[in-house]
Amino acid sequence: MGLTVLAVHAHPDDEVMATGGTLRLLADQGVRTVLVTCTDGRYGDAPGAIKPGAPGHDPDAVAALRARELEASAAALGIARVVQLGYQDSGMMGWDHNDEPGAFWSTRIDEAADRLGAILRQEAPQVVVTYNEFGFYGHPDHIQAHRATRAALAALAAPPTLYYNALPLSAARRWREQAAPDPDAAASAEGEGFDPVALAVPDEEIAAAIDVRGVLGAKRAAMVAHASQLADAPWLSLDDDAFAAAMGWEWFVRAGHPVGLAGPSSDLLAGYR
């Protein structure tokens, strides 16, 4: 039986930082990789770092551009299938956009879970990757992606192993202390106020540490593909060594392990190969 790994992310570009290298490595190993992106990212920046609500920011145009950027990123990462569920970006927590009709945050969990469940039954992945219950850092669409994924998995007769992306405390401290880029500017406008140490987990909780240093060209290319969000990201101005120090590992905690897997691994498909 073929091996499949399915990642559920909230916005176009979320697939890269925490899971892009892992997905590229898996694809290079012949594993089928599937990306489900829940929202259209319409309240991300418009090109030129134009913020939503500012003159020159057209949410429809941003969504259309980000859909194209996502396809280019997925190509760089070797992703076999991209499904864009197309819910409206809910914006940051507390924004009026949270409650707009069609916003992912205002969508009933069972509705989203049904759509996700149909994809899960088609693809029958051995492993699913998404965010923890805090959406890793608290964005409503990331929290909703977690909830929809959990609900969809709960309805499956044979659930896959579930991982959440994570940051070990040791790496978070290194990032904060050594990274040349301003940690407050990490990632994108979406990551405002991002403090890696506050989001990190004790190192011993990391179940899978994936060395992606061999595929960083693809990871960088995928970041570049998301130019509307990441063109000014500090990571992209790093030389190869510094980029590898910042981006060369991806970490996960194991949230469900139906095959009885225990202990740390260097492979998300441990237990299935």
Contact residues: Zn ion, CB under 5 A: 10-11, 14
| Nearer CB in complex with Zn ion: 31/116 | 116
Residue sitting closest to Zn ion (CB): 11
**Shortest distance, CB of residue 214 to Zn ion, whole angstroms?**
26
| Nearer CB in complex with Zn ion: 10/16 | 10
Report the first-to-last Cα separation within the chain, whole angstroms: 10
| Nearer CB in complex with Zn ion: 18/153 | 18
- Ramachandran assignment for 75, one of left (phi > 0), alpha (psi -120 to 50 degrees), beta (any other): alpha
Q: Which SS3 state, helix, strand or coil, does residue 269 take?
A: coil
Tell me how far apart the alpha carbons of residues 94 and 91 are, in angstroms, rounded to a whole number.
8
**Shortest distance, CB of residue 236 to Zn ion, whole angstroms?**
18
| Nearer CB in complex with Zn ion: 150/257 | 150
For the beta sheet containing 161-166, the strands, ordered from the edge strand earlier in sequence to the opposite edge, are 81-87, 32-39, 4-9, 127-130, 161-166, 249-256, 208-211
| Nearer CB in complex with Zn ion: 14/250 | 14
Tell me how far apart the alpha carbons of residues 150 and 26 are, in angstroms, rounded to a whole number.
23
What torsion do the CA atoms of 153, 98, 85, 250 make, to the nearest 10 degrees?
-60
| Nearer CB in complex with Zn ion: 31/35 | 35
In this structure, what token pair is assigned to residue 62? 């941003």
**Shortest distance, CB of residue 142 to Zn ion, whole angstroms?**
6
**Shortest distance, CB of residue 124 to Zn ion, whole angstroms?**
26
- Burial tier of 273 (Cβ tally within 10 Å: 0-12, 13-18, 19+): exposed
**Shortest distance, CB of residue 269 to Zn ion, whole angstroms?**
25
**Shortest distance, CB of residue 189 to Zn ion, whole angstroms?**
10
